[in-house]
Amino acid sequence: MQLPSQHMVVFTAWLISRALDLGFSLSQRVCPGTQGSSFSGVQGRKWKGEGTTKNLENIVIGRCYDYIRIVNPAVGEKNCSQIWEAFKNAFINKDPCSILPKDYELFINLSLHTIPPNKSLFWENNQLLVNRFADRGRRYMSLGDTLFGFFGDFLNWCGQADSPGLDYESCPTTLECENNAVESFWRMASITYAQHSSGVIHVLLNGSADGGAYPQPGFFADYEIPNLQKDRISQVVIWVVDDIEGPDIDSCGIHSVKILETRLKTLGYDVICTDNNKSVMFLLCLDNPDNSKCALASSAPAAQRGPISSDRGCSWNKLMIVSFVGFLFRFALVY
């Protein structure tokens, strides 16, 4: 029997709907893990972290050339493509939770260069401030100002087990597994940076950070202090600087900073600690000139600023009289 045209439309729509439902149901059974947008591709597991930064290869090779040509040509010639391959091979075709710091050894060896004495700047909880203060190695050379640190700064990456590709959907966080590609990279980079620092080293800490300026565990506490070469370090200078709008939670001689000072002195280092270093505060005040912490108090005597007082008026009158008498005396000598 031939259905009326209106009923045919309804019947056709019903068939399409059933077909779509059936196809989706089969896809869930045959391809587990396809539902949802954050499938990682690693045995159907979803990671909580962001996926690999898009165009990672182009970005890091470009950074490498930028560094050796413009940022710090003094490091000499480097094979940027070879450095990328060593970097990639540290985590490609591996379980994203089984990457160790030593997997990056070849990458470090290929990208390593001298860190000038007295230029090392360690930090905790204030990366953006450190980047501005170091000024890409012109003022100080933080980890992010070395070639191996510059290579991975602010990027994310991970591979997949038994696959040559990168996982662009999601990567494991440190809470999910400590031995992930990014965490192990920065551990190895921190160890290398500490081992090659010398002279007077500087440590910039955030006095407004929750939990204290010197976190434990932390990269400085766990990977950098243990790898400092004591015979190459003449002094450790600690700067504790509060956020311009933040509270004063930690300072030299108290709380977590005191723990750090004690640890370093016990290890035999000469330690100096300063709160709110002026140079760093001036930098913060460039963006916050009206903040009360940025009021510049002149060191000039009170008599040199403000309206003229009555006493200053008397002094001025006396000066005028003496000057006038001197003029009359010189006039008498001439005539």
Q: 163 to each of 93, 160, 182, 269, how far by Cα in Å?
A: 5, 5, 18, 47
Rounded to 5 degrees, φ, ψ at 159 are -110, -160
How far the first Cα of the chain sits from its last, in Å, is 141
pLDDT above 50 (res 312): no
Model confidence pLDDT, tens digit, residues 246-304: 999 999 999 999 999 999 999 999 999 999 999 999 999 998 999 988 876 444 444 44
pLDDT of residue 119: 98
Q: Which two tokens stand for residue 106?
A: 């070849």
pLDDT above 90 (res 73): yes
Model confidence pLDDT, tens digit, residues 288-308: 999 988 876 444 444 444 443
Report residue 24's pLDDT band, with 50, 70 and 90 as the boundaries: very low
SS3 205: strand
Mean pLDDT, all residues of the chain: 83
Q: 21 to each of 28, 31, 37, 183, how far by Cα in Å?
A: 11, 15, 19, 42
Q: Which residues have a Cβ under 8 Å from the Cβ of 165 and sit 6 or more positions away?
A: 41, 159
d(CA 8, CA 3): 6
How many helices, marked H, and strands, marked E, lie in the chain? 11, 11
Strand partners, 200: 235
pLDDT of residue 45: 52
pTM confidence score: 0.76
